[in-house]
Amino acid sequence: MEALLDRRLVIALAVAGGVLAVLASFLQVRGIVGAKGARNLNYAAYAFMGASMLLFALAGLWGVPA
Protein backbone atom coordinates (compact mmCIF):
# COMPACT_ATOMS: atom_id res chain seq x y z
CA MET A 1 0.00 0.00 0.00
CA GLU A 2 2.85 2.36 0.73
CA ALA A 3 4.03 2.00 -2.87
CA LEU A 4 0.73 3.51 -4.07
CA LEU A 5 1.21 6.47 -1.75
CA ASP A 6 4.75 7.14 -2.95
CA ARG A 7 5.40 10.79 -3.72
CA ARG A 8 6.87 10.05 -7.17
CA LEU A 9 3.75 8.13 -8.22
CA VAL A 10 1.44 10.92 -7.06
CA ILE A 11 3.46 13.48 -9.01
CA ALA A 12 3.68 11.26 -12.09
CA LEU A 13 -0.11 10.80 -12.15
CA ALA A 14 -0.66 14.55 -11.88
CA VAL A 15 1.82 15.30 -14.66
CA ALA A 16 0.33 12.60 -16.90
CA GLY A 17 -3.12 14.08 -16.37
CA GLY A 18 -1.89 17.55 -17.25
CA VAL A 19 -0.14 16.32 -20.37
CA LEU A 20 -3.26 14.47 -21.50
CA ALA A 21 -5.41 17.57 -20.99
CA VAL A 22 -3.04 19.73 -23.03
CA LEU A 23 -2.73 17.02 -25.68
CA ALA A 24 -6.52 16.81 -26.02
CA SER A 25 -6.79 20.54 -26.70
CA PHE A 26 -3.80 20.55 -29.05
CA LEU A 27 -5.07 17.62 -31.10
CA GLN A 28 -8.56 19.07 -31.37
CA VAL A 29 -7.30 22.49 -32.50
CA ARG A 30 -5.12 20.81 -35.14
CA GLY A 31 -8.10 18.80 -36.35
CA ILE A 32 -6.47 15.44 -35.62
CA VAL A 33 -9.25 14.33 -33.28
CA GLY A 34 -12.85 15.41 -33.14
CA ALA A 35 -14.84 16.70 -30.21
CA LYS A 36 -15.63 13.20 -28.98
CA GLY A 37 -11.98 12.12 -29.07
CA ALA A 38 -10.87 15.24 -27.22
CA ARG A 39 -13.59 14.73 -24.64
CA ASN A 40 -12.43 11.14 -24.06
CA LEU A 41 -8.83 12.31 -23.64
CA ASN A 42 -10.03 14.92 -21.14
CA TYR A 43 -11.92 12.22 -19.20
CA ALA A 44 -8.71 10.19 -19.05
CA ALA A 45 -6.83 13.30 -17.89
CA TYR A 46 -9.37 13.89 -15.12
CA ALA A 47 -9.07 10.25 -14.06
CA PHE A 48 -5.28 10.55 -13.73
CA MET A 49 -5.52 13.84 -11.85
CA GLY A 50 -8.30 12.52 -9.62
CA ALA A 51 -6.25 9.45 -8.74
CA SER A 52 -3.32 11.71 -7.93
CA MET A 53 -5.44 13.88 -5.63
CA LEU A 54 -6.93 10.86 -3.89
CA LEU A 55 -3.53 9.30 -3.25
CA PHE A 56 -2.18 12.64 -2.05
CA ALA A 57 -5.01 12.99 0.45
CA LEU A 58 -4.65 9.40 1.65
CA ALA A 59 -0.91 9.83 2.14
CA GLY A 60 -1.57 12.90 4.25
CA LEU A 61 -4.25 11.18 6.34
CA TRP A 62 -2.16 8.08 6.94
CA GLY A 63 0.99 10.05 7.67
CA VAL A 64 3.16 8.44 5.02
CA PRO A 65 6.56 10.19 5.02
CA ALA A 66 7.39 12.25 1.96
pLDDT in tens, 22-42: 999 999 999 999 999 999 999
- Computed over every residue of the chain, the mean pLDDT equals 93
Amino acid (1-letter code) at residue 52? S
Could you give the dihedral angle defined by the CA atoms of residues 35, 21, 53 and 13, in that order, rounded to the nearest 10 degrees? 120
Residue 24 · residue 45 · CB < 8 Å: yes
Q: Please tell me the predicted confidence (pLDDT) of residue 57.
A: 92
For 3-19, what is the mean pLDDT?
A: 93
Residue 38 · residue 11 · CB < 8 Å: no
pTM, whole model, 2 decimals?
A: 0.87
Q: How many angstroms separate the CA atoms of 43 and 59, rounded?
A: 24
